Amino acid sequence: MLFTTDKQTQEDLNIYGKQGADSILSLFNRTATLNGCKLLEELFRYPLSDAEAINARIEKIRYLKTVKAVFPFSSELFDQAEQYLANTDERTKLLAEKPSLEKMLTSLVASNADYKQIVNGISALIEIIQQLNSLLNNTLLLAGSPLKRDEETTEIYKLLNTEPISLLLKENPKNKLHYEKLSAFDLMLRFRYRETVQQLLRYIYQLDVYITVAKVATEHSYIFPKALSKEEHVIKIKGFYHPQLKNAVPNTIHISPNSNVVFLTGANMAGKSTFMKSLGIAMYLAHMGFPVAAMEMEFSVLDGIYTTINLPDNLGIGASHFYAEVLRIKKVAKELSTGSNIFVIFDELFRGTNVKDAYEATIAITSAFAIKRNSVFVISTHIIEAGDILKERCANISFKYLPTRMKDTIPEYTYTLETGITDDRHGMIIINNEGILELLKKGKEINQ
């Protein structure tokens, strides 16, 4: 089963970002090859929902990180190889017999572009395959490497060491090939064993991605999460932070079926949205088997992630914004009713309606979500009153808040999660700071 998510979530978490702007993808998007970049995007599009697969990928990247693996290939080789392989026209096939004198003369006068491409492609492939072989022997398949257990790697290794690919290993790429050999390799690489060659290349692109990710993990000192089986229903993340923020404050959270609803309160600038985004990004990357911005992470694999952080306001504020929120909740509800265990984030639930409706709706929705013990919900709201009722009704809600410390009348924020419901009441403080009531009072006196 696939790990499900949607566009709204990816936009909220800034997974792909807007064109040109920084995103989570661009954080990792430093592959050497173009096809590696495409593969990376694919990994982002399809996170995994299987603990074994996740852990296997994590193992590989972790190993590459420990041995400080470097991608040994030059990216031009792949351009030549791919161009060469893309030419499937049988008429360009190098014939087995020697070309006639006439043809040789023609090619002397006007060089044949196809022929040149074929020669370059073949020697590029020879170089690639030889380098792959030494990479496997010298790094990937050393004793203690998790890749030794990897089926795919074993298969690749076997392919390299059996004919016909093994023939390529014997060539010296610096020497010019004889025409007979060229035509034999052309037939083999481009036509007869085309799929095998492509499989080898795909493996290399994947290595490119993993080596890049390992490098990024080293540079940013990200850690590798541990995926637990679906049945355990726990999430433990220590010291996670937003990967795109400088000086981000780390936080720790522990979620189990007895505390699977996080009810988050705090003033507007206290960092609720950033906290939720950091958590969402960590969960997303972890389900890809990627390193995360945290100190430690263990998580039970879930079936999907749905966030609602910046619901577009294009419907107009008021009843229609409220309705957009209602529809979003309905979507999540439908997902839940299929029995999936999902990770749900709602920021400022029901901010589009009046406080009374928001109060009732927050209680109703949150307590309904709370029944779903195997899913995880993080809900932030400014309606602190709803928290008091929810505390009585549901035992599995964990109340967290981001505090505001008042320095006289200037608020300061710690960005560090604490347990409980904040009673920070900033509304009246802000109104008082703006001096609205005094303004009106003074004006009245002057006018009289």
Binding site for other proteins (CB under 8 A): 268-269, 310, 313, 316-319, 322-323, 326-327, 329-330, 333-334, 336-339, 348, 350-361, 364-365, 368-369, 371-374, 382-385, 425-428, 430-431, 434-437, 439-444, 446-447
Q: How far is the CB of 191 from other proteins (least distance, A)?
A: 53
Contact call for residues 414 and 426 (beta carbons, < 8 A): no
Residue among 107 and 320 whose Cβ is closer to other proteins: 320
Give dist(CA 443, CA 441) in Å, integer: 5
Nearest-CA neighbor of 158 among 176, 171, 141, 175?
141
Contact call for residues 335 and 304 (beta carbons, < 8 A): yes
Give Cα 409 to chain centroid, integer Å: 41
Contact call for residues 260 and 376 (beta carbons, < 8 A): yes
Q: Strand pairing partners for 302?
A: none
Q: How far is the CB of 27 from other proteins (least distance, A)?
A: 23
Q: How far is the CB of 337 from other proteins (least distance, A)?
A: 4
DSSP3 helix / strand / coil % (the chain, rounded to 5): 55, 15, 35
Q: How far is the CB of 418 from other proteins (least distance, A)?
A: 18
Give dist(CA 359, CA 382) in Å, integer: 9
Q: How far is the CB of 410 from other proteins (least distance, A)?
A: 15
Residue among 190 and 426 whose Cβ is closer to other proteins: 426
Residue among 191 and 323 whose Cβ is closer to other proteins: 323
Residue among 353 and 398 whose Cβ is closer to other proteins: 353
Q: How far is the CB of 50 from other proteins (least distance, A)?
A: 22
Q: How far is the CB of 274 from other proteins (least distance, A)?
A: 12
Residue among 33 and 381 whose Cβ is closer to other proteins: 381
Q: How far is the CB of 444 from other proteins (least distance, A)?
A: 5
Give dist(CA 332, CA 8) in Å, integer: 12
Nearest-CA neighbor of 267 among 391, 421, 389?
421
268: left (phi over 0), alpha (psi -120 to 50) or beta: alpha
Residue among 148 and 351 whose Cβ is closer to other proteins: 351
Q: Strand pairing partners for 296?
A: 238
Contact call for residues 323 and 361 (beta carbons, < 8 A): no
Contact call for residues 243 and 13 (beta carbons, < 8 A): no
Give Cα 136 to chain centroid, integer Å: 27
Q: Strand pairing partners for 262?
A: 378, 398
Q: How far is the CB of 345 from other proteins (least distance, A)?
A: 16
The token pair at 275 is 């906290």
Q: How far is the CB of 386 from other proteins (least distance, A)?
A: 9
Residue among 283 and 329 whose Cβ is closer to other proteins: 329
Say if residue 292 is exposed, middle or buried (CB neighbours under 10 Å; 0-12, 13-18, 19+): buried
- How far is it between the farthest Cα atoms of the chain? 113
The CA-atom distances, in angstroms, between 116 and each of 55, 92, 113, 119, 348 are: 45, 11, 5, 5, 62
Residue among 101 and 395 whose Cβ is closer to other proteins: 395
Give dist(CA 85, CA 197) in Å, integer: 9
Residue among 139 and 260 whose Cβ is closer to other proteins: 260
Residue among 46 and 323 whose Cβ is closer to other proteins: 323
